[in-house]
Amino acid sequence: MKPIMRLMLALTGLFFVGNVFAGDSGTIEITYSPAAATAVPTLSDFMLIITGLLMAGIAFRLIRNTSGGSPLASIVALALLGATMIPGYDFLKTAYAQAAGLSNPAGGVLNIPVPNPPTDNIQVDNTSGVPQRINDIRYVPDGNTSCQLDTPSTTPECTIGMILPNTSTCYVAVICGDV
């Protein structure tokens, strides 16, 4: 076989090596159970709007009446207030992550497969209809023992003892390699 053919064969083999390593890096096991409901006092939507307008009015008067305050500062404050009221304007960008759900109202164990390479944020949703307490979070390796749980870059982080209200979300992360 000619040397150029051996080189081409070796390079072709390198292109297909990646498929051998594709698959899961393991699983994240989250054990959860229903939590006792706790009332959290909040304002109604209408009262939150009233409070926001009251705060905006106070800020407007303070900016306008302080020494050194200028009409430009007032215009900027009003523009920011107006911009937040634009329907459909997305101030906080949506994080697209792999979603997993706590779906059993009686609790249980959620197994989340971790892709290879692992993603930074894995989203965990409570879709059970009741608040759930996270009792345990652990990483179960699947051949790659250099992986471990990490702090996700998106908040809130799923933590042991956390009570996740219905329709709420928390995040977990796995990091692999030299940590």
Residue type, 15: F
The residues spanned by each domain of the chain are: 25-36+95-175, 45-84
pLDDT, position 126 = 92
Is the predicted pLDDT of residue 157 greater than 90, yes or no? yes
C-alpha 41/C-alpha 36 separation (Å) is 16
pLDDT, position 10 = 61
Q: Which residue has the tokens 């030299």?
A: 178
- Tens digit of each residue's pLDDT (9 = 90 or more) over 87-111: 665 555 554 445 678 888 888 999 9
Average pLDDT for 62-82: 70
Give the global pTM: 0.52
C-alpha 170/C-alpha 122 separation (Å) is 8
Nearest to 149 by CA among 111, 107, 179: 179
For residue 111, the cross-strand partners are: 29
Q: Which residue has the tokens 């965990």?
A: 124
Question: To the nearest 10°, the Cα dihedral for 63, 64, 70, 71?
Answer: 120
The mean pLDDT value of the chain amounts to 76
Beta 98-102 vs 122-126: how paired, if at all? Answer: parallel
Higher pLDDT: 62 or 111? It is 111
